[in-house]
Amino acid sequence: MTFRNGLGSLLRPEDSVLVLIDHQPYQLANVNSHEPQMVVNNTAALAKVAKAFGVPTILTSVIADRGGLIFPQITDVFPGQEVIDRTFINTWEDRKVVDAVKSTGRKQLIIAGLWTEICVAMPTIQALGEGWDVTVVTDASGGVSTEAHEVAIRRMIAAGANMMTWLAVASEWQRDWARTEHAAELSEVLVQHAAGSGIAFLWEQQLLNTPVPGTVD
């Protein structure tokens, strides 16, 4: 196995492309590895962070007429963008999706989707075999059981994939707080989607803007 390490292996927004796969009602109805609302929250956060950092994002569904439309929490982030609807279970066998990814010129492929063991594992393993640097966002994905999700993760790691959570992806893209061009947008996503961390940030801002009480003589 080739180990993925060193500074050059960290995610860079200018070299990343995100593919969000099958975040649809039919699949969400049988997600049992995570709380469904958490998957929706985390995927929406990932989409917003990608938009903030200018990371191209491809949205794809499978037979949307029957499985339902991609969650509006995701499509609202990219108003007017085409969702590529497929018949292939394996996204990486769909020429339109692959061509959309390749057209970005990016080499760091980031994937999240439903279900982990099927619609995430298949394209991840195929893309790895074709030389792509693939990262799977595990908490913006979900399987039909905890076992299915975890076995899929182990399978993809064995194939050479990198595993991260959405907040880790966001932090790696930011990398340095001295890079202020996206800090405000990232902070807003944290407030909306990062639960305790977002609330703690708001509290910090409150404290920084609260006058220090006068000294009692």
Note if 52 is an active site residue: no
Chain center to CA of 141: 8
Helix (H) or strand (E) holding 163: strand 162-164
Q: Which residue of the set 28, 39, 111, 119 is catalytic?
A: 119
Q: Is the peptide bond before 115 cis (omega within 30 degrees of 0)?
A: yes
Measured between alpha carbons, how far is 174 from 170 in angstroms, rounded to an integer? 6
Cβ-contact 100, 58 below 8 angstroms: yes
Closest by CA position to 40, among listed 13, 68, 6: 68
Burial classification of residue 19, based on how many CB atoms lie within 10 Å of its CB (0-12 exposed, 13-18 middle, 19 or more buried)? buried
Cβ-contact 110, 120 below 8 angstroms: no
The set of catalytic residues is: 119
